Chains A and B, each alone.
Chain A
């Protein structure tokens, strides 16, 4: 609670027998909760009979009740001015008034609180609190510095470990020489070392995305605000329904990939010759409303719905061939038909989606909600569309992150060991 005059926090002055009284440490007055006035005046009857405004309309002031933020009413008691809250029935008593009230309407004995003593004790408690706050501020500064200190220590440890590892490597290599030529095995091991490091780094990126999902609360679509948002709801087409490229399934969004079996020397491998996704917006709707999703640039975590491949005598389904023709991909080669593999995924109408992206303000055509918002990509924020639930998504990412955290270093260590073991020969 704050003093209505100076906005300083009121201090609760404790007492062994009575309830705590809230006093302004700067001596502007005290706050009495409902019933606490009885501690200072004889009884309620005297209090009421002396109230000038007994039957009159209360005069509202511009002062806020410290307890419930209602505007206080003027509430004179005899010749003394106090301010009463019509809501919580508490009373603000300016400095000096409490003593005079006690003298005029008191029981004749001493009250559990002398007003002067109240202010003195409040000031002392305030001083102690100020001192504690100052110490906490110092501690806070110290804490930030301490955190920085740990970062520096961690950096130094990494540096020392790096130097030690390098020195260890140098010592291992010093009495040795490269025994073998740079063959395929050597290159594979070297790629393994680099790949392990890349997997480790990718683990951190994935963990960052996982943390974004974990720490962004799900909004109802009605209450969306500009910025990073997380919504779940049923998918709907924004305008006309789309058709998946290879199965012609009616959908609101699709992605596809076309690979061709190609021969390189003695080897054959799949080469991606086309990939893409639909760019038409669609709508996600929950119980409170709908919002347009512009899927361009989104990271998709969607189930693969169909893979079609022509091998030997097995031809592609007619719908897939039509899809390939629409994409401008010929199925016939020079001498025989190409070996193609077509993969597609799509979002069906009324399918439950999870979307993490940035809500932007748009024009009326793009948006379907009253706030004229749509969800799209922002260069500094993640943009994810998934047909899995949030929990399933997090559970899957958790395993991936741990696999990358442990698998990356393990791969690097194993390949480095293999590299040293196979390529170095001791010089005797």
Chain B
């Protein structure tokens, strides 16, 4: 006698649940997408801070490393390239080159004891080292954010909402090629050449 009423109530719960699921899933995509944009902005802030430290580093190194003009120029060029870069992709690539140039500079600086003893150099090196660690952490965070987003975009049944709302998977930040190389070996070769 009351079965139709009960079935109607249950169907009503189901319909409300379905709508709430669709709205919730769409809102998750909005949140995840904004989370990725924010993660990139947070990397950009750190890149700018490191960028501001570079003139001091080059200035202090210049007086000790007159024979390492190429190394210093590589840092200056990479910095200029970062200045010119506009899109996130360009910035990421310029940042990779800058990291690589800085890595070379610090490795070469090991051969200059006077420079290593310079307080200003030590301070700038520490500051850049801290910033680089933070950048590395934030890159990892960015990739985590992108991975969470991409998983949602591809998961069933959320992919239906993603497809309808035109949310597509996003690329991860690449690890610079230099970071994948054997640093010890590279350094050893450089010493041999020197």
Could you tell me which A residues sit within 8 Å of B by CB distance? 2, 7, 60, 62-65, 68-71, 86-87, 139-140, 143-144, 146-147, 150-151, 154-155, 157-158, 161-162, 164-165, 168-169, 172, 200, 204, 207-208, 211, 214-220, 222-223, 225, 227, 288, 370, 405, 408-409, 412-413, 416-417, 420-421
Contacts and interface: CB of A to CB of B under 8 A. Distances in A.
B15 A161 contact: yes
B133 interface: yes
B164 to A, nearest CB: 5
Contacts of B8: 161, 164-165, 168
Contact of A412 (B13, B35, B82, B97): B13
Contacts of A69: 81-82, 84-85, 90-91, 93-94, 97
Interface in B152-187: 152, 161, 163-166
A151 B94 contact: no
Given A140-B166, A421-B2, 8 more contacts: A69-B85, A71-B81, A144-B165, A200-B13, A288-B137, A370-B130, A413-B6, A416-B5
Contact of B137 (A62, A70, A223): A223
Given A161-B15, A416-B6, A417-B2, A147 B165 contact: yes
Contacts of B152: 215
A147 to B, nearest CB: 5
Interface residues of B, number: 59
B97 A68 contact: yes
Interface of A, helix, strand, loop or mixed by DSSP: helix
Contacts of B35: 215-217
B144 A150 contact: no
Nearest to B95: A69
A224 to B, nearest CB: 9
Contacts of B24: 204, 207-208, 211
Contacts of B15: 154, 157-158, 161
Name the residue among A86, A208, A215 with the largest chain B CB count within 10 angstroms.
A215
B18 interface: yes
A144 B166 contact: yes
Contact of B166 (A7, A139, A157): A139
27 contacts: A2-B90, A60-B80, A64-B85, A69-B84, A69-B85, A69-B94, A69-B97, A71-B77, A71-B81, A154-B19, A161-B11, A162-B12, A165-B11, A165-B12, A204-B20, A208-B24, A211-B28, A219-B141, A220-B140, A222-B133, A222-B137, A223-B137, A225-B38, A225-B45, A413-B10, A416-B5, A420-B5
Contact of A409 (B9, B45, B84): B9
B84 A71 contact: yes
